[in-house]
Structure 1
């Protein structure tokens, strides 16, 4: 399975998966504006009728790719967080590592650059990208933070949505900027991830953790 196909592995319908994988590669290589639905149909090996049966247009197709990748990322996070009653710091480190690895993937960085380059020209697409990607991730993380608050593992005054924003903002540091600019690849960045995730977890706990956890 190619890296792009694995990125979209939660898409169970074979034709839909083929369309999205082909479109993702085209978007990453050529940008959004340059890709036509004809090219997507040809590259994915489906008819235009089949293509439009699955997607109403190019914007819906791009949004579906982003949503599927982010949903796969969230499901993986729920899997390793949901089945273990691990200390909060450990959970935050694992969550930070998971998010960083996801954001450093070639497909994610490429689609992010496409959106940065073309969002102004396609504001509806930018809104769809934000809703399917960053906003959905923030919403999921806010829910997880609310659960930790209810368990008494965060300070009583913590607002889950704000805590989620703080955590994600801490992760978007220098490495994220260099990766977005293409100055560092997945392999080169891997050595930095553990240290970054641990620093972010410790900073977050000093802001929001209960004093009993040693972060007064």
Structure 2
């Protein structure tokens, strides 16, 4: 889980001194990025908020873009830990595996701390190209590559139609997001609950399999 400073909860006793210091910096940066934006947050301010010297800060991160990428990457890594399980649990049921993957993906995107990161990128990405690049490389691109790799394996097994697996992955993920994510981004109530997410994902998977399924999904 992630705490209210938007970084991952790891028992303090499990971290080395260096890891604790790095986490301290990331938590401080996350607080400032979410409170005052990327552009208004300086490395000096992050060092002060974290209670470390600038030399220590730069020893861990070369710049704000690297720090922001680390925050995004850590959140995505925690989400990624559950992906193999959803595939293993539905090894002989492709539709079930796709639904499990989609539910986890959309639920993750709709979490408030993840929404906060995306809002920062949307608000300031045009002024700071490195921000959008760091976000995309650390988050969406990793997800597309992972799903594309799985889809390529399914194509070799004859369980998905031939075609560019990266295109299939992008289409699958876009179907999951639908209008649900847009409403969440804009703060349009109510926030989606588990039942709505399940229904959205089930419909998206049905549409995806009509385009890419082979009838050998089992």
On whether the aligned pair clears a TM of 0.5, the verdict is: yes
Stretches of structure 2 lacking an aligned partner (at least 5 in a row): none
1:15-64 alpha-carbon deviations (Å, 9 max, x no partner): 11221122112211211011122222232233322211101111110111
In structure 2, the residue matched to 1:145 is 151
In structure 1, the residue matched to 2:120 is 114
CA distance in 2, matches of 1:7, 1:81: 26
Stretches of structure 1 lacking an aligned partner (at least 5 in a row): none
Kindly state the Cα deviation for residue 72 of structure 1 after the two structures are TM-superposed.
Answer: 2.0
Kindly state the Cα deviation for residue 129 of structure 1 after the two structures are TM-superposed.
Answer: 1.7
Select 1:194's aligned residue among 191, 198, 201: 198
In the alignment, structure 1 residue 165 sits paired with structure 2 residue 170: yes
Runs of 4+ in 1 over 6 A off after TM superposition: none
TM-score (norm 1): 0.88
1:80-134 alpha-carbon deviations (Å, 9 max, x no partner): 3246524000000000001011101111111111111111111122222211111
In structure 1, the residue matched to 2:186 is 181
In the alignment, structure 1 residue 24 sits paired with structure 2 residue 1: no
Residues 123 and 164 of structure 1, relative CA distance in 2, 3 Å threshold: same
In structure 2, the residue matched to 1:74 is 80
Please give the residue correspondences for 1:42-81 in structure 2 after superposition, counting only pairs within 5 Å.
42-81=48-87
Residues 191 and 184 of structure 1, relative CA distance in 2, 3 Å threshold: farther
Aligned residues: 212
The more displaced of 161-170 and 69-78 is: 69-78
The 8 Å contact of residues 175 and 189 in structure 1, kept in 2 or not, is answered as no
RMSD over aligned Cα atoms: 2.3
CA distance in 2, matches of 1:171, 1:48: 42
- Secondary structure of 1:53's counterpart equals helix
CA distance in 2, matches of 1:120, 1:102: 25
TM-score (norm 2): 0.87
The 8 Å contact of residues 4 and 21 in structure 1, kept in 2 or not, is answered as no
The 8 Å contact of residues 20 and 65 in structure 1, kept in 2 or not, is answered as yes
CA distance in 2, matches of 1:204, 1:76: 22
